[in-house]
Amino acid sequence: MSRSDIERLKTQVEAASSLDRELLAQADEVLRRTFSGVPASSDAISGQVEYILHVVDSVLPTWTIQLTGKAMEPNGHWRCSLRRSRGSDEDELVGLGSGAVVGLALVAALLHVAMQKTPH
């Protein structure tokens, strides 16, 4: 998958109102191609957010996850950043994402890292 394909998927994730199985499957495919060590599918984990956190823990160990937002039903306004070190603006790779729900923001941030790791 090319960088532009991943960027399109990230845009789709950020525009979605919920993280459905199809969207998670598309993101999962990209993550498996980009990172080694992506855990088994989300069916083995109790929920989608838990699965995504498990993926971050598996493929980006020791990275900091920062979530900010407002919990508002039905759609909040969440932002996620993934960084190798806490608060450093000098990290080479940074994952940034936003979404209506926490899971979407996490997936978008992971896709942002994947996009940066993918050759043009």
* Domain range for 91: 3-117
Residue whose pair of structure tokens reads 């993101």 in the numeric block: 27
Asked if residue 85 has pLDDT above 80, the reply is no
7 against 120, higher pLDDT: 7
Tell me: pLDDT of 17 over 80.
yes
pLDDT > 60? residue 62: yes
The number of folded domains in the chain is: 1
Q: How far is CA 32 from the centre of its chain?
A: 13
* Token pair in block for residue 96: 């940034």
CA distance 26 to 30: 7
Determine the Cα–Cα distance for residues 91 and 100; give it in Å rounded to an integer: 26
